[in-house]
Structure 1
Amino acid sequence: MTSVLILNGPNLNLLGTRQPEVYGSTTLADVEQMCRAAAKVHGMDIEFAQSNHEGTLVDQIHAAKTSHGGIILNAGAYTHTSIALMDAIASVELPVIEVHLSNIHARETFRHKSFIAPVALGQICGFGAKGYVLALDALAEHLAIT
């Protein structure tokens, strides 16, 4: 069975209470539950993780190389600043789908630049928590699971 790492970056632990007008009222626990249900449909296992620390995220990406078939990453604000995450993704050579709850291209100009996008299989943004499920569907198709 294929396993996927769903990795969440800084401040995503505050989903449901942090700027609900931008990020919605769905909590990270709700997102995990949605992902587990979607993964089950595809016959996939998932590991779900969140960290506010860039180095921890890099370590989790490195560890994924030997235990997962792909990664779904919501890097939060690190999307726009982290060359370290970009290099980690390039190093592990796993398919990565970048996810954002809001449409980063319709927000402040500094959010338009993604260091993740050039090394990602694709990017899904603006669909709220449903974006994670869309990413699982896309990754399953890419990995030819369903």
Structure 2
Amino acid sequence: MSNQELQSKIAELQEFIDERPDAREVRKTLAVKLVYQSYKYEEIQTILDVSVGSITTWKQAYEKDGILGLCLKHKGRKSHLNTQQREEVLAWLQTKECWELGELECKLAFEYDVLYESKRSYYDLFDAAGISSKKTSSANSKANEEAVAAKEKRFHHCWRAAEKI
């Protein structure tokens, strides 16, 4: 490999490092860059705390697939509901103001054959539909002056005792 080709590869790797926020991709790329800068594998292993086998694998991936060989391959977990089904569920949730978690669980299980392992997924659907999943009381007693006055009258003796202390 000529010096010009080597410098070109190093520049490409550095540009990739500068653009990537993911530390795992940066570590892979930096390891390959250090190989091209004539660092020994053992030195790279110490500097980046990676195995020699990983360095070799990453270098081979770069040589085979170019910069794409250093990108993470995972795509994440596939959603249980597809986009259309999710939109249908969100529209259905808009039909009522107050929901129980069990209603949503049944709807997803029977109509879409979807059972989430975590309750968080159901609450995320409520949030996406603009429905609060927090427990609330039906009325704020502080806003009801009669209820506040009745409570003050009922506990007046407690507050008087507290004032004397």
Shorter-chain TM-score above 0.5: no
**Higher RCO, 1 vs 2 (CA within 8 Å, ≥6 residues apart):** 1
Q: Please identify which structure carries the higher helix content.
A: 2
Larger of the two Rg values belongs to structure: 2
State TM-score, norm by structure 1.
Answer: 0.31
The TM-score with structure 2 as length reference comes to 0.28
Between Structure 1 and Structure 2, the one with more strand by share is 1
